[in-house]
Amino acid sequence: MTYDLVIKNGTVIDPAQGVHGKKDIAVAGGKIAAIEDYVSDGDTHDVIEADGLLVTPGLVDLHVHVWWGVAHLAIEADPVCVYRGVTTAIDAGSSGANTIAGFNRYVMDAVDTRVLAFLHISGMGQLDNDIGELEDIRWARVERAVEAAKLHSDVIVGIKVRLTDNIVGNNDMVALDRALEAGAELNKPVMIHIGGSVHDFDEFLEKLRPGDIVTHSFTGNPHGILDNNNKVIDAAWDAMKRGIIFDVGHGAGSFSFPVAEACQEQGLGPGTVSSDVHRYNLRGPVYDLMTTLSKYIYLGYSIDDALALGTSKPSAAVGLPDHIGTLTVGADADIAVAQLREGPVTFTDAKGNERAGNQLLVPVETLRKGRRFNPIHSTHPDLIGQPHKH
Ligand SMILES: [Zn+2]
């Protein structure tokens, strides 16, 4: 059997299948051709020697912003995604009904990362940093959103709405209602962005349906998941039991170590870990999804459990086909090769709180449909080199 590429001697971790062990992976025609204890590389053109490295499904980042040049906060997709282990990236509301056609043609169709999206209930998406997209609630038009989501149903995974007061003013409840109406019509999840809203978080949670997603779940901003005594609010426990998903969505202002730690101590962990990487956090504290997952290894998760939160769990959360977020013979060869770097590393949350960690996942090489993407070949100067403090 002749393959195009073989990844040799890596420690393959595929949480969805409970796989953790030394294996070889063969790639042919952009697909995974074999996952075996030993694959001969005799006739193979290309070999990645992965001894001492981790080989995992290509990561799935549930929350990014990559409508570059249009959404104010967006960055280019490939340098931070496919060059850094993420083969599937889900843009969280950078585009709305007015701009999804352009996003689809000029980004999704043009980049190497598989980019999908939550469509913003605001037609403008997240266009501007100073003028909130739902301060004028007329931008939230259910029919337009539903129509656009149906037209682009191959790339739209759900509806996004941001509920912070400087974005929606006093319109948070009506904005949420409209997002949920669109989500119900489309039979797709709604992702809500929380923190600093006019109304309390429990009022939002009560309205969510099973499968809806809260992003920025561990924000240190007001109206979050903890009460004044640092206890997880009852509504969050109820929501968790009903199947609402608590996503991290780290971002520039929305992940707090003290909040995440209090939640962990009380037994409430995230359902998915996403980066919310964008231009205001790319150079820290987020950097990329592997750094965000490393923060959960720091918080006590096994590597396998942390990787599940950035592969199979986000894939399932938005109903992607079963083979995305796991390693399956016959599926696209979307594979991340990473180093678990041992040694002191300082992790910083969105509030500037620091934690001294000892393990950092670092992207070494990514395969997307069998094509190789190495971070040192990334064209983005800000992404070359090691940004972390040691
Ligand atoms: Zn975001």
DSSP assignments along 183-196, one per residue: HHHHT--EEEE-SS
Cα(269) to ligand 1 centroid in Å equals 20
CATH of the domain spanning 5-56+328-339+360-383 = 2.30.40.10
Cα(65) to ligand 1 centroid in Å equals 6
Cα(81) to ligand 1 centroid in Å equals 15
pLDDT at res. 379: 56
User: Which pTM value belongs to this model?
Assistant: 0.96
Sort strands 156-162 and 190-193 into parallel, antiparallel or unpaired: parallel
pLDDT at res. 43: 80
Query: How far is the CA of 193 from the CAs of 72, 93, 113, 162, 208, in angstroms?
Result: 17, 10, 24, 5, 13
Cα(7) to ligand 1 centroid in Å equals 34
* Domain(s) of CATH 2.30.40.10: residues in the chain: 5-56+328-339+360-383
pLDDT at res. 389: 38
Q: What is the DSSP string of 322-340?
A: TTTTS--TTSB--EEEEEE
Greatest alpha-carbon pair distance for the chain in Å reads 66
Residues in a beta bridge with 26 = 6, 34
Q: Is there a contact between 314 and 60 (Cβ–Cβ < 8 Å)? A: yes
Residue 302 CB contacts under 8 Å (≥ 6 apart), including other chains = none
Cα(50) to ligand 1 centroid in Å equals 34
CATH H superfamily, domain 58-317: Metal-dependent hydrolases (3.20.20.140)
* Domain(s) of CATH 3.20.20.140: residues in the chain: 58-317
pLDDT at res. 42: 84
Cα(196) to ligand 1 centroid in Å equals 14
Q: Is there a contact between 211 and 191 (Cβ–Cβ < 8 Å)? A: no
Cα(45) to ligand 1 centroid in Å equals 41
Structural tokens at position 92? 């969280």
pLDDT at res. 41: 85
Cα(12) to ligand 1 centroid in Å equals 31
List, run by run, the mean pLDDT of 10-residue segments along the chain (390 residues): 93 97 97 96 90 98 96 94 97 98 98 98 96 98 98 98 97 98 98 96 98 98 96 98 98 96 98 96 93 97 98 98 96 97 95 96 97 79 42
